[in-house]
Structure 1
Amino acid sequence: MEDIMTMTRDDIISVLGPVDDAVIADIASTGATIEELREAFAWVGADEALVNEGRPLPSARVATLIGLLEPPDDDI
Structure 2
Amino acid sequence: MTAEDIVAIFGPVDAALVAEIGQIGATREELAQAWAWVNADEALINDGRPLPSGRVAELIDVFESMELDPEK
Q: Into which bin does the TM-score normalised by the smaller protein fall?
A: 0.7 to 0.9
Higher helix proportion: 2
Structure 1 residue aligned with 2:34, among 33, 40, 51? 40
Superposition map of 1:51-66 within 5 A: 51-66=45-60
TM-score (norm 2): 0.86
Percent identical:
59
Q: Per-residue CA shift, 1:35-63, capped at 9, x if unaligned? A: 00000000000001100110111122100
Q: Which residue of 2 aligns with 1:17?
A: 11
Q: Per-residue CA shift, 1:3-43, capped at 9, x if unaligned? A: xxxx0000010011111100000001100000000000000
* Structure 1 Cα separation of the partners of residues 35 and 11 of structure 2: 11
* Structure 1 Cα separation of the partners of residues 63 and 13 of structure 2: 10
Structure 1 runs (4+) greater than 4 angstroms displaced = none
Number of positions where the alignment pairs a residue of Structure 1 with one of Structure 2:
66
Alpha-carbon RMSD across the aligned residues, in angstroms, is: 1.2
- Which ranges in structure 1 are unaligned for 5 or more consecutive residues? 1-6
* Structure 1 Cα separation of the partners of residues 54 and 60 of structure 2: 10
